Structure 1
Amino acid sequence: MMLHRRGLLSAVLATGLAAPALAQTWPDRPLRVIVPFPPGGSNDIIARQMAEALRERLGQPVIVENRAGAGGNVGADTVAKAAPDGLTLLLTAPGPLAINEHLFRSIPFNPQRDFAPVALVASVPIVLMVTNSLTVRSVAELVALAKREPGRLAFGSSGNGSTNHLAGELFKSMAGIEIVHVPYRGAAPAMTDLVGGQIQMMFDNMPAALPQMRGGQVRGLAVAGAQRAEAAPELPTVAESGLPGFDAEAWFGLVAPAATPEAVLQRLQAACGESLADPALRARFAQGGAVPGARLGAAFTAFLAEERAKWGRVVASSGAQAS
C-alpha cells in the first residue's frame, strides 16, 4: 500500500512539473477541428475562419474536417472518443452540446461529461427567409398564408436538433400554424432547395443567409433574435412582427475531449482569446453578421449550462422531435 501511494504521489508530482513544459511544447503536430455539419454552412464558415486564426498563433496547421450526420452527433462523438491530447477539437453549433440530449431518444456521448469547454467562438443572428416564388413580404403575411393553407408550406433545416430546426418549431408553435419540417444534411443543401423553390421557408444563420439575401436569391422577412441585426438592420425581429417573446439565436463553440490536460486547455483558451480580439478576425466575422464570443473556459461552461436549460424548454414547449 505504501509503495502504491508513493508511486501515485510521484505521478502527481511529475504531472505538475510537466504541465509548464507541456504548455510550451504543445502543439508539436497539426490540429484537427471537426465540424459536425457539411461544408458551406455557417458552422463551416466560422470554423475555417477560426482555424486560420489559431494556425497563426499556435504555429501548426489547423485542418477543418466535416463529419456530418444525426444532427451533429456523428462529428461530436468522434471528438468525444478522440485521444485527449488537444489535437482533435469540435467546433459546433448548439445541437450536440445543448439541444440533442433533449430531442433524441439517445445520443452516443454525454455533452456535459465528455467535453472540456474551450471557448464561445461566435454568436450569430438567425434569419427567417422565404423563397422568391412565395409572394409574402412580411411575417404577418406568411402566418396568414400558412393558416389559409395548413400543411402546404415546408421549412428546411440543417438537420434535427439544429437551431434553425428549433426556430422553425418555435415559430410553428407560437404562430399556431401547421408547417412541415424538412431536415437536410446541413444548411447548404437546404439553402439550395430554398433558392430553387423546393421548400418555401427557412430559418438560417446570418453568415450563410446574408449573401443569398443580398444577391436576391431569397427574401429575408425577419431576424429571430430579441434585437435587430447590425448586418441587416432593415429586417424587423419576429417578435416585433406579431409574435412577442420570440427569441432564437445561434452560436458556435470550441470544445476538446474531457481528459485533455489543463495546460493544453489553457494554451487553447489563450490562443482563442487572442484570436477573438484580433481586429482582422473580428472584421471577417462582421462581414457575415457574426459577433465574436467573449467566454473562455469556466465562463463558457456556465453559458453551456444556461443554453441546455433554455433549449430544453424550447423542445418541450414546441413538441419538436427528431424525425
Structure 2
Amino acid sequence: MTKHTFNSVGRRGFISTVTAAALGMSGAAIAQSGPAAFPSKPVRIVVPFTPGGSNDVIARLVAQKFQEMWSQPVVVENKPGAAGNIGANEIAKSAPDGYNLLLTNINIVSMNPGLIDKMPFDPQKDFAPISLLGTTSLVLVVHPSIQAQNARQLIELLRREPGKLNYASSGNGSPQHMSAEMFKAMTKTSMLHIPYRGAAPAIADLLAGQVQVSVGVINQLLPHIRAGKMKALAVTSRKRLSSLPDVPTLDEAGVPGYESEIWLGLAAPAGTPPAIVDFINQAARRVMAMPDVVEKLQGQGIEVLVSTPEQMRQRGLDDLKRWGDIIKTAGIKVE
C-alpha cells in the first residue's frame, strides 16, 4: 500500500490528501491483515449526540462500510447528554477489545475539560485514538430581517447597538457556543447567548425570528440557507467551502485570524490492543477514501480528514490548549 502523507497547514496541524489510489486495498486484504478472528461478533459505535448531526451522519456511513468490509454487524447507538460525556463515559469504561468504539469530537476531547469541573473520565488517558475522520465548519447566519448582508455589516450593527441581538446555540459549552464567543471576543461586540437543548430547537427559533443570530454547523443549516430562510454571512473555516463557495471565511470578512471547525474521529477504550487499533485505523482510511463516501460527506458540509492515532492525539492536545485559553478568557463554565 502506498504510504499516506500529511502536510502541515498552520494551526490546523495537518490535512490528509485522501485518494482511492493511495488507500486502494481490497476488503479481503484488510480482513487478512487484521488480528486473528477480529471482528468475530457485532461491533458498536456509540455516538454521544442526538441523531441527525454531523457526528451521526459520519458514524452511520462508516458503520455501513465497516459492516460490508467485515461481514459482521456494526451498530450505531445514540447516547446523548452532558455535552457528549454520557456516551463517551460508557465507552471509556467498556471492554478494551475493539468491539466498543466512540465517535468522538473536539467537544469531548478539547472543550469539555475546560468547561466541566468534574469530568467522569480523562479524554487523554481513558481512550485510544484510532483516526480522525473529518472536519465540519460552522457558518455565521442571521435571520433575513437583520439588516446585514455580510459579516462587516453585522459587526457594525452589534457595535452600534450592543446587547440588542440574541444568538442561539445548541447548548452551553457546545462548539456553536464557543465559536460565537470567540467571534464576540475578536470583534469586541456584544450579543446575548440563548442556549438550547440541541440544534433543532435553536434552528427553529432562528427561523421564527425569536433569535436573530447563530453560528451553526453547516450541514444542519444548509437547507435553510439555500431556501433563503436565513442569510449566511461567513464560514468559520480557514478556507471557503465547496458547499458554500460564494460565502467568505470570517478571516476574509473582517475578523483576521478567526478559525473554528469541528473535527470528528474514532476512538476506543484505553488498553485496546495496538494491533486492533491499527486494523481499525486502516479500515477507516480505506472507507474515507471511497469516492461515494467523500461525495456524501461533502454534500453534508463535511470534509474528509484521516490520521494516525498519534496525530489524532496531538490534534486533541493542541485544541485543548487553544480552547482552554478561550474558555478561561470568556469565563465560561458548564454545570
The equivalent residue for 1:9 is: none
Give the whole-Å Cα distance in 2 for the aligned partners of 1:101 and 1:129. Answer: 28
Q: Shift of the alpha carbon at 1:184?
A: 2.5
Aligned counterpart, 2:137: 125
Q: Structure 2 residue aligned with 1:214, among 221, 226, 245?
A: 226
2:24 is matched with which residue? Answer: none
Amino acid at match of 2:248: P
| Aligned residue number for residue 10 of structure 1 | none
Decide which of 48, 56, 75 is 1:44's aligned counterpart: 56
Question: Which is worse superposed, 285-294 or 113-122?
Answer: 285-294
Residue 252 of structure 1 pairs with residue 251 of structure 2: no
User: Kindly tell me: are residues 152 and 70 of structure 1, through their superposed partners in 2, closer, same or farther at Cα, counting changes over 3 Å?
Assistant: farther
Contact 2:33 2:279 in 1 (8 A): no
Distance 2:334 2:91 in 1: 22
1:96 CA drift (Å): 0.8
Distance 1:321 1:186 in 2: 18
Kept in 2, the 8 Å contact 1:71–1:96? The answer is yes
Deviates more, 1:42-51 or 1:284-293: 42-51
Match of 2:16 in 1: none
Check conservation: 1:70, 1:159, Cα contact below 8 A. no
How far apart in 2 are the matches of 1:175 and 1:291? 27
Q: Structure 2: which 5+ residue stretches go unaligned?
A: 1-31
Q: CA–CA distance in 2 between the matches of 1:191 and 1:53?
A: 31
Question: Which amino acid counterpart does residue 72 of structure 1 have in structure 2?
Answer: G
**Count, aligned residues:** 304
Q: TM-score, normalised by structure 2?
A: 0.85
Is 1:321 the counterpart of 2:333? The answer is: yes
5+ long unaligned stretches in structure 1: 1-19
Q: Distance in 2 between matches of 1:173 and 1:21?
A: 50
Residue by residue, what CA displacement relative to the aligned partner does 1:231-252 show, whole Å, maximum 9, x if unpaired?
2121111122222111111111
Q: Which residue of 2 aligns with 1:231?
A: 243
Please state if 1:184 is matched with 2:196.
Answer: yes
Question: Residue 97 of structure 1: CA displacement?
Answer: 0.8
Following superposition, the deviation at residue 28 of structure 1 comes to: 2.0
What CA RMSD, in Å, does the superposition of the two structures yield over aligned residues?
2.0
Partner of 1:69: 81
Select the residue among 305, 322, 325 that pairs with 1:310: 322
Residue type of the alignment partner of 2:95: A
Q: Which amino acid aligns with 2:103?
A: L
Larger radius of gyration: 1
- Name the amino acid aligned to 1:213: I
Q: Residue deviations 1:251-303, cap 9 Å, x none? A: 11111111212222122111101101111111111112211112022221222
Q: Which moved more, 1:92-101 or 1:22-31?
A: 22-31
Same amino acid, percent of matched pairs:
39
For the residue of structure 2 that corresponds to 1:133, the secondary structure is coil
CA drift of 1:22 comes to: 7.7
After TM superposition, give the deviation of residue 21 of structure 1 in Å: 10
- Of stretches 99-108 and 308-317 in structure 1, the one that deviates more from structure 2 is 308-317
Establish whether residue 90 from structure 1 lines up as the match of residue 102 from structure 2. Answer: yes
Q: Secondary structure at the match of 2:259?
A: coil
Q: TM-score, normalised by structure 1?
A: 0.88
Distance 1:74 1:135, change over 3 A: same
